[in-house]
A = this chain, B = another copy of it.
Amino acid sequence: MNTDQLKNIDQQKFDRVCTIAREAMMIQTSADTLEWDERTRMPAAAGDYRASQVSLLRAETHKRRTDVEFGGLVEELYETLDDKDAHDDVTATIRGLHRDFMRDRCLPTELVRATSEATVRGQQAWDAARKADDFSLFRDSLQRVVDLKRESGNLIGAATQRSCYEALLDEYEPDAKVDQLQATFDSLRGPLVELIAAIADAPRQPDVSLLERSYDIDAQRAFGTRVSSAIGFDYQRGRLDETSHPFCTTLGPRDIRILTRYESNWLPSGLFGTLHEAGHGMYEQGLRDDWFGLPPGSYVSLGMHESQSRLWENQVGRSKAFWSWLYADAQKTFASNLSDVPLDDFYFAINTIRPSLIRVEADEATYNLHILIRFDLERQLIEGGLSVDELPEAWNARYQNDLGVTPPSDANGVLQDVHWSAGLIGYFPTYTLGNLASAQLYDAAEASLGDLSKMFERGEFAPLAGWLNEHVYRHGRCFSGLELVENATGKPLSAEPLIAYLRGKLAPLYGI
């Protein structure tokens, strides 16, 4: 900690900005609670009023975060920092609040309003277009969203010395550099395509149908709760519920709620969905309570968040060691489905790799190809290399080229994701960043803790969870996501650990 500069900080002003930021978070988490309720409990007829409540609370949050007095104090505090890049909590608080305020301040109210309107309409148009399987119904709305996001990116980019796309990316993955990302993704693509092709031609293939038997929902619920608790999700400070689009939401420092969806004829949906959300939840539960609502007590980036969900879902949850521990329980819980299935067959089935059209249904290897396509296309859309009209064709061409499949129609192609309609441009790459980081962090944890498989076979997850807490969670936003990875692993983020992990697991399975 740089203690010298802390002497210069006006304590009263620091306390004042912290109070305002914490109050803004209290209102934000109130709105989040209302949305959680909307997605789980609310009576059907109550939607309109709920929307107006949430929108009022969001406006109240925004008002506090963009308040002129608040911004002035934040700027003043920021100017008193000699070392603006220090990693102590106080500096990180001031730097984080300053960054957030400056991003907001770049954008004229009129642009914020127009973007908000365009994305509400965009999502409606997207929904209608997807249902009608007709991209033309979405075209104008998408054009409007892209134009407005480009305008925002240019304004923020000019103020922060970033390119337009990098400024948009920076919202989700602060301080990430597009060129670096591009280079890392490029080094991932080749080996990944090669591995997936080899798997497609492999002589051994799993029997997926055993996951499609009729799995009792109550049993799935109890099993998922038991397993998520065993890996470390704390039900004293959290809940698991059901919803149509799974997510994790933080309603308070000790109130982390994960949501999943069970499908009777597809066991992985509820099972890995629960592990995935539990991973997100454990990150949130590992943040420091006493800094809740302030940068040191906040998650650092979407990529790091995703690294935690993926790590518990894939590196842990799809490992042989994990199932060596758990399979007897699974066979007992789902006796009529699994009692005749050997562990090896089950393990092979949950590691099925197969190119497909839909991102959210993709396996852990092909998933990244879906992301790389979107990353390239959205950059071109923003930078002007690709027009909205050319998008569907470019999409299909890339799917044929990268994954060897061509969408039969836009509903299963360019219209499958909500993100762009909602203005979430720069968001997609964080998914693959998360996958890369999960593999690299896992390797470093193992190098430090010894053979993790041996622990999983005994149902011991606390050492891994503790290591992640130590190297990721407890730092909040005191470092950037990429700094955290480098500090924790001794190397900058790269594609190699993920490739090595996938090869190491899949090659023996498929006999390639």
Is B252 a contact of A50 with CB atoms below 8 Å? yes
Chain B contacts of A219 at CB under 8 A?
Answer: none
Is B56 a contact of A23 with CB atoms below 8 Å? yes
Given contacts A33-B33, A37-B37, 5 further A-B contacts (CB under 8 A): A26-B52, A26-B53, A41-B41, A46-B255, A53-B252
Chain B contacts of A27 at CB under 8 A?
Answer: 53, 56-57, 60
| A353-379 contact mask (Cβ, 8 Å, vs B): 1 or 0 | 000000000000000000000000000
A44 interface residue, CB < 8 Å from B? yes
Closest to A55 in B: B26
Contact of A46 among B43, B53, B251 (CB under 8 A): B251
Is A237 a contact of B26 with CB atoms below 8 Å? no
Is A255 a contact of B57 with CB atoms below 8 Å? no
| A8-46 contact mask (Cβ, 8 Å, vs B): 1 or 0 | 000000000000000100110111011001000111111
The interface size of chain A toward B, counting residues with CB under 8 Å, comes to 34
A239 interface residue, CB < 8 Å from B? yes
Decide yes or no: A53 and B30 within 8 Å by CB, A44-B236, A252-B46 being known contacts. Answer: yes
A292 interface residue, CB < 8 Å from B? yes
Contact of A238 among B37, B43, B235, B292 (CB under 8 A): B43
Pairs A-B, 7 closest by C-beta atoms: A46-B255, A49-B252, A45-B254, A46-B254, A45-B237, A26-B53, A46-B252
Chain B contacts of A42 at CB under 8 A?
Answer: 255
**Bound CA span A30–B58, Å:** 12
Is A56 a contact of B26 with CB atoms below 8 Å? yes
Contact of A255 among B31, B50, B238 (CB under 8 A): B50
Is B45 a contact of A37 with CB atoms below 8 Å? no
Chain B contacts of A30 at CB under 8 A?
Answer: 30-31, 34, 53, 57
A253 interface residue, CB < 8 Å from B? yes
**Bound CA span A38–B60, Å:** 22
Closest to A251 in B: B46
**Bound CA span A49–B41, Å:** 22
Is A29 a contact of B53 with CB atoms below 8 Å? yes
**Bound CA span A30–B49, Å:** 11
Closest to A236 in B: B45
